[in-house]
Amino acid sequence: MREQPFRRWLRDARELGEGTINSRVSNCNRVETHEGDLDALWNEDRLRGLLNLFTYPREDERRRIPPRHSIPIDGDPYAGTATLKQAIRLYYDFRKAQDDDDTQDSVASRKNVPSSCWFVGACSKSGDQTDRFIQEGIWEHGFEDKYLDLVKSIEPGDRIVIKSTYTTKHSLPFDNRGESIATMAIKATGVVTENNGDGRNLRVNWTPTAQPRTWYFYTYQKTVWKVTRDTGTLPWAASALIDFTFNGAEQNYDRFLRHWYDDEDNHRPPKEPPDKPPEDLKLAGAGVSGLAQDLLCDAADLRTIARLLDDKRQVIFQGPPGTGKTYAARKLARHLADADERVTLVQFHPSYAYEDFVQGYRPTLAAGQAGFELRDGPVVAAAARTEPDSPHFLIIDEINRGNLAKVFGELYFLLEYRDEDMRLQYASAEDEPFSLPENLYIIGTMNTADRSIALVDLALRRRFHFVEFHPDKAPIEGLLGRWLAKNAPEMAWVADVMRRANSKLDDRQAAIGPSYFMKEDLDEEKVRLIWEHNVLPYVEEHLYGETDRLAEFDLDKLRHQTASGEADASSHSVEAPGELDGAGRDEEADDAES
């Protein structure tokens, strides 16, 4: 081990105290005693095998599987192994820095390059504001309650950069193995001359770049990002980015490729959404008239749902069975996403867990050896697939059938705070914190006739908007009649029979939905089959213990009563909540948009 240069690097590049440096060097010496010379191992495989040896998942500790290394540890084996791995990782970074000539001599030569700077976005709902910012000598953002403290902390004299973050897959200056690569364009650099303290506006002396310079891999999607040399999740990458931006240095692609493809954690290229405010992805502005005709509903109802999605990024369609919740969710998501591959569907059930939805260990078999590996669930996978300027959707069917607190875990927080990130339950110390992208929308469906509805807690309800799908309320009210008029006009009586049956059932949360009868080539024979084998068994289950009432739901009897205009003595007036009707709908939608 190159102990003295390592100590200097820890002190000068990482700014560690002597006590911490002694501890890290001592741990490296312990590793060398049991596993061999670190420099020899570096020359052999760049320490990848050693780092892998000291990878000890929390799940292995819970199952009392001992670490694979041979170093005795007093106390917690998980914490002890993590401490040793941290020391090895520091030596790994030190040797990589030496290989790239990132030594103290090169650090001392950076006299005119800042130690920290601010990378900021310049997009708003009106488009790219870079030219206006440069001409007016300003920078501003349009958020009401985001980034205020960060912007207030910017001081006159601080260096600032206008950046644009997106992903690129083609025409790259390196082999990206077919992966989309996180990309950042540097459009202008400047010096802050005044901060008025409102958390939104700065005066800046800008210097535009002749052509935007393009940086890859180490980027950040948020609108305001402070980068400090030799700090952060990848200290060496932060330093390289500052040199690239202010010193004209070239990006060392090989080093980043080694980190993202070849290190012990098998990192893949990150796929990040753009750093644009949510307003840039307004769904309410999308045309929905054609979709409304396809779904046989009012376009205003679809625009309301789009506004609700713009507001909280997540909604739940709730209603009794057969009201088309899942069908509408899939059609709407595909229409707004404009591509099937941007829509992911999962279905919750009682055995569905956090490990299925977010991230968890799964059994593997490699070369005849059984083991476990950490795999992303659909929500993490969907977040990773988001593309710039494109909405992506995650549909959760039967959302109330799962144990929601168990399934969502820390996502409860991230659903509400999309501009925050946090470490996932199974993340290692080297993993990046996770956040839900602004352009990932979630649509859940909920069956109100399901007894598990009681398990939906208030914490979840506060994070979603709820849209009612009931036969007595738009957009489902009158749907069967409209469908029959278009597809089977001679069967128009079925809609009246269904309304009368729901009136007798007298439970809007368990009403009979129109989807039962929206079948191709519908005729009387098919209606009778549906009634006898779908509708009546459902009614019988709902009226358990009231078998004498089943006679009221005889199809012929209901049809006769409907045809004769006979009053239904058992009908009750059920007043439906009105948050999606008339002025109430527009008021709520306007609130969501504001």
Q: How many CB atoms lie within 10 A of CB 46?
A: 18
- Residue spans of alpha helices (H) in 247-377: 253-257, 289-295, 299-312, 325-337, 354-357
Distance CA 475, CA 37 (A): 71
pLDDT value for 475: 92
* Nearest one of 86, 97, 83 to 9, comparing CA atoms: 97
Give the per-residue pLDDT at 110: 47
Give the closest residue to 148 by CA, choosing from 504, 419, 442, 491.
419
Q: What whole-number percentage of the chain has pLDDT above 70?
A: 86
Q: Which of 291, 299, 301, 294 is nearest to 474 (CA)?
A: 301
For 93-152, the pLDDT digits (tens) are 888 877 765 444 444 344 456 888 999 999 876 778 999 999 999 999 887 777 888 899
β-bridge pairing 392-397 and 343-347: parallel
Residue 346 has pLDDT above 90, yes or no: yes
Q: Which residues of 232-262 are buried (b: 16+ CB within 10 A; e: fewer)?
A: bebbbbbbbbbbbbbeebebbeebbbebbee
Confidence at residue 389, expressed as pLDDT on a 0 to 100 scale = 65
Work out the average pLDDT over 190-204.
Answer: 93
pLDDT, tens digit, 9 for 90 and up, residues 14-35: 777 888 888 899 999 999 999 8
Tokens at residue 470, please?
């009931």
Percent pLDDT > 90 in the chain is: 37
**How large is the average pLDDT for residues 209-227?**
89
| Average pLDDT score over the chain | 82
Phi and psi for 288 in degrees, rounded to 5?
Answer: -125, 5
The winner for highest mean pLDDT among 82-91, 102-111, 189-198 is 189-198
pLDDT band at 566 (very low <50, low <70, confident <90, very high): low
Tracing tokens 């679809």 back to the chain, one arrives at 302
What whole-number distance in Å separates Cα of residue 518 and Cα of residue 264? 55
Q: What is the pLDDT of residues 388-401, one digit of tens each?
A: 567 899 999 999 88
Residue 65 DSSP class: P
Q: What is the C-alpha separation between 308 and 286, in angstroms, rounded?
A: 13
Q: CA 558 to CA 562: how far, in whole Å?
A: 6
Q: What is the pLDDT of residues 494-541, one digit of tens each?
A: 999 999 999 998 888 889 999 999 998 999 999 999 999 999 999 988
Q: What is the spatial distance between Cα 25 and Cα 14, in angstroms, rounded to a whole number?
A: 14
Which residue, among 116, 315, 366, 344, has the nearest Cα to 232 in the 3D structure?
A: 116
Q: Where is pLDDT greater, at 498 or 52?
A: 498
What does the pLDDT look like over 412-422, one tens digit per residue? 889 988 878 88
pLDDT in tens, 297-314: 998 899 999 999 999 999
- Secondary structure (DSSP) of 427-489: --TTSPPB---TTEEEEEEEETTSGGGGG--HHHHHHSEEEE--TTSTTTTTHHHHHHHHH-G
Q: How far apart are CA 244 and CA 238, in angstroms?
A: 10
> Is-contact 37 88, C-beta < 8 A?
no
Is the pLDDT confidence value at 583 over 60?
no
Question: Residue 184 pairs with which residues in a beta bridge?
Answer: 165, 215
* pLDDT higher than threshold 90 for residue 482: yes
Residue with tokens 């007093």: 74
Structure tokens at 34: 């049991």
Report yes or no: 478 and 499 within 8 Å, Cβ to Cβ.
Answer: no
Residues 344/317, Cβ–Cβ less than 8 Å? no
Query: What pLDDT is attached to residue 76?
Result: 79
- As a whole number, mean pLDDT of residues 487-493 equals 92
Integer-rounded Cα radius of gyration of the chain: 30
Among residues 572, 323, 577, the alpha carbon closest in space to that of 471 is found at: 323
DSSP, collapsed to helix, strand or coil, labels residue 104 as: helix
| pLDDT at res. 64 | 81
pLDDT, mean of residues 179-200: 91
Taking the C-alpha atoms of residue 122 and residue 199, their distance in angstroms, rounded to an integer, is: 15
- Please say if the pLDDT value at position 274 is more than 90: no
What letter represents residue 370's amino acid?
A
Higher confidence at residue 187 or residue 272?
Answer: 187
State yes or no: pLDDT of 214 exceeds 50.
Answer: yes
Residue 454 has pLDDT above 60, yes or no: no
Evaluate if residue 588 carries a pLDDT over 70: no
Residue 452's pLDDT band, with cuts at 50, 70 and 90, is low
Is the peptide bond preceding residue 471 cis, with omega within 30 degrees of 0? no
Instruction: Find how far residue 125's CA is from the centre of its chain.
Output: 21
Token duo for residue 89:
């990782």
Give the CA angle between residues 83, 410, 358 to the nearest 5°: 85
CA distance 206 to 69: 54
